[in-house]
Amino acid sequence: MRSGDSVPVTVGVVVLTQGRRPDDLERGIRSLLAQEDVQLDIVCVGNGWQPTGLPAGVAVLALPENLGIPAGRNRGVDHVAGDYLFFLDDDASLPDPRFLIDAVGVLRTDPSIGLLQPQVVDPTGLTAPRRWIPRIRKGDAAHSSAVFSVWEGAVLMPRPVFMATGGWAEPFFYAHEGIELAWRVWDQGLRSWYAGDLVANHPVILPTRHADFYRLNARNRVWIARRNLPVPLMPLYVGSWTAIQVLRGARNPAALKAWFRGWWEGWTTDPGERRPLSAGTIWRMTRAGRPPVI
């Protein structure tokens, strides 16, 4: 904690890994252990893997099978204490030892912020993809703003806010869980925030490396609508994203075919718990520049 402060800053940290990137995992954990003026309770969740060789002070939770990214993060929450929760993927790291104390300072200074995602920078200097800035109008990556989705690899939240959201969307397995989480923060009367003045490192990697990328993206788009939107808005949201994907996939018929398989799956399978956004939340999101129809 900062000198002169009477209340320590306590953060429960969940690091999720399948054990496929040991060097990146070590870098990320070392960057956590180097954080200053915070008390950390760190658990490394092995999603279908037994983490080994971790530094002292890092707890281990080995899941017998890969439950998916959202469920893996949720399981970790039960094994850490702290007033705040920080989620870090195993290929992400924190270049600044004051990142967490500064990020918590943002939340304490502005209690209307219920979730914080930093700017994401490739540690080798490669140009960061625009998708890491979760805005329609991307603008300057260093510019901070309210957002309506988040890049999930480095996310900080007050614990009560996270618990009130119901956690990461476990049925999703992979893709778009950051949209639902951001929306459910807004549904608490709070804002999800992109902090362009804070930085996390992550290598530039194509998301299409995942075999089910297109199918899960489409399925989860539909599930987002079915889980979170009032019935009249469902076709608007799904329809707008369907049109966008048709335009994007015009030159890649195989990808578009996989996407539509997921689209159909989204309508014909169980998305899990339904918690529609309130009319007040939809109005607040609209006034802030992003009605939940695209």
pLDDT digits (tens, 9 = 90+) for 146-173: 999 999 999 999 999 999 999 999 999 9
What is the predicted pLDDT for the residue at 6? 65
- Beta strands 84-89 and 154-158 are antiparallel
* In a shared domain, residues 79 and 150: yes
The structure tokens listed for 103 are 């990020």
The structure tokens listed for 98 are 């004051």
Distance in angstroms (rounded) separating the CA atoms of residues 150 and 182: 7
Distance in angstroms (rounded) separating the CA atoms of residues 64 and 82: 26
What is the predicted pLDDT for the residue at 196? 98
pTM metric for this prediction: 0.95
Structural domain of 56 = 10-205
Distance in angstroms (rounded) separating the CA atoms of residues 188 and 284: 11
* In a shared domain, residues 42 and 157: yes
* In a shared domain, residues 220 and 155: no
* In a shared domain, residues 93 and 236: no
Q: Per the domain annotation, does 124 fall within a domain?
A: yes
Distance in angstroms (rounded) separating the CA atoms of residues 142 and 15: 25
Identity of the residue numbered 13: V
Q: How many CA atoms lie within 13 A of 250 on its CB side?
A: 4
Kind and range of the H or E run holding 77:
helix 69-77
* In a shared domain, residues 190 and 258: no
* In a shared domain, residues 180 and 220: no
CA distances from 50 to 42, 54, 65, 67, 152 (A): 16, 11, 10, 14, 23
Distance in angstroms (rounded) separating the CA atoms of residues 163 and 202: 27
What is the predicted pLDDT for the residue at 209? 53
Q: Which residues of the chain have pLDDT under 50?
A: 1-4
Query: Would you call 102 helix, strand, or coil by DSSP?
Result: helix
Q: Per the domain annotation, does 282 fall within a domain?
A: no
What is the predicted pLDDT for the residue at 205? 83
What is the predicted pLDDT for the residue at 182? 98
